Structure 1
Amino acid sequence: MIEQLLRTPLTELTGVRHPVVQTGMGWVAGPRLVSGTANAGGLGILASATMTYDELDHAIREVKGRTAEPFGVNLRADAADAPRRVDLLIEHGVKVASFALAPKPELIGKLKDHGIVVMPSVGAARHAEKVAGWGADLVMIQGGEGGGHTGSVPTTLLLPSVLDAVDIPVVAAGGFFDGRGLAAALAYGAAGVGMGTRFLLTQDSSVPEAVKRLYLSYGLDGTVVTSKVDGMPHRMLRTDLVEEVESGGRLRRLAPTARRTMEFKKASGMSWRQVAVDGRAMKKAGERSWGQMVLAANTPTMLKSGLVDGDTDAGVLAAGQVVGLLDDLPTCEELVDRVVTEAAERVGALARLQA
């Protein structure tokens, strides 16, 4: 475990040693991975969108039992019980609250009143300006190279556009996996980097070993962005299932979609009324059609099939393009140490270029 080599607004705000964030990946970012990242000096983010309230409570307690270091929790701002989950973070003294969608100003204010750092994820400069105006402490951007739900603008263009638009710190995600990337992000003016696929492929990740090995077998052309799984652009591995979904029509997908809606309802413990309330909120926030909202039921159970159950034939495997450059499964400590060490060396080499 290395000492602090790089001090940025991210490390100052959150109290972590290194400007490296493990993103809140559903079904992947559980207590083991989050605590492994935290103990390595990075900022681990617990993914709560796939958890019930009670499961989140248990997961936070487990992380606290595994580490005394700061960590965060990712929340769905459009969830019907978002205010209750915010209260849970306050109760447990969680250091960072991250959001996949813009949280309401009153939620931001409540979190900040209790000393919790607020970090929404944004996909455009205008979104960053909005949440900055509402009091967010920093924002995370994800370029199109990133896995899971993603946009079309690459990190190299999205990052400077957001940096120019806001005065709060910006964390860059999408395409990062080593110290060169961290050094480049810092050179742009970012406060640190977020990595998802790179942390998924660590020994501390709970993803089944066979699935990890499958990820490592893919090249740079091994991912595809499709909207046919849940109605939103989603970057994932080119598995046989994804190819089949890509080539299938809407009617062909209707029966599996309905089945997975029922499976997710049962697994989440939600009532049909809660499903409907969340669906309306997601539709309003993302301006999705009702057809897309039905398709969105695919995502939780299909991801779980692959990332938890290890069924690569039945599941969807979200992945960033960096998967094609990865060939090992380090521990979180080994990963963070080498990323930060290499970044510090690169930053030093850049400084020596000055006349």
Structure 2
Amino acid sequence: MRIKTYEADTMQDAMDQIKQDLGPNALILNTRQVTKSVKWFGLAKKHIIEVVAGIATPKRTASESSSALVPVPTIDSPADQSEDSVVEGKTVEAIALRNIRSALDDVYQHQIERGVNKELSQRLVYILDDIISNAISHNRKLETKTIRQDFNDRLSQVIQVSGGVDFNVEEQQVIALVGPTGVGKTTTVAKLAAVFSVLNYKTVGLISIDAYRIAAYDQLKTYAEIIGLPVELALSPQGARDAIDKFADQDIIIVDSVGRSPNHQIHMAELHGYMQVIRPTEVHLTVSASVKFEDLVRIVDRYKTLDVSRIIFTKLDETVALDTVVNGAYYTKYPISYLGVGQTVPDDLEVADIEKMSNFLLAKQDLDKVLERLNEPI
């Protein structure tokens, strides 16, 4: 066996040296932290990692052994060395992966504590494990930036984010917002209208089909007057069709739908009749980020007959966690389009992006701890 001693500032640096010199199948025979003088007369000292590693050498034939006998090196263990510092028969990769997976257990527990669905948490930890394991096996340097980017890329396959409305589409877009009462649909319609018209210079027409709450139409009308947009109240499916025809020259039409309980079958049937006539190009299910996951499941089940294509989460300013958002996106498979983070029009509307989801699911401190484990003595 070929045996060498390596010194490095961190465990990861030592592992990199060993893999470069002896290869990934090298065995870690011993590790310890030592103090080394770094200035004249030993006035300044620093702590470093000392690792003893070895690699098996090819077996010699009898003739080769008799003609070239080489003494087997021995290792003298320091007097202050404890048994726990000795790890025999472990390869460089095995040691690194053991440390990483211990840290990933903590990541999983933190996700569960934040309310993330168990199945989703397991899947995300598997993704992170796979990313780091591949980096180690291919001898790539583990850095926060690259791991985060790889995680975001893989996360986008688990939780879909559609981003905002595509303004490059030449055809007229009809965007309908549906959802239970009290989630802030009318305010969200006003935010979208302001973003589309004021910030992106699109012509926008607004339609309210909430015949049960005239106050909702009055609120939307007030917003429309401030922004300078036309608005129509449709009291029937035919009235909605007439309003669509009236806005034929508008780039985008936004429909504010009736806000009623999804458990009310008659009102849901009426809304379905409206949607059949309006034929929206996009249907955004709008729900509050503070709703319980069990209620979200019921809401999604009720509204799925409306051909929902996107989901908007509102009232993020009323909750400190994004568990409903990530769990809802994972469960529904609907791409997240926008996030409502307050009442201000239009500032408190954010285009959903995967980075925001990533930062919640894999907190910076958790990722830092995972990488720190690589630098711990074994």
TM-score (norm 1): 0.32
Q: Who wins on radius of gyration, i.e. which is larger?
A: 2
Choose between structure 1 and 2: higher strand proportion: 2
TM-score (norm 2): 0.30
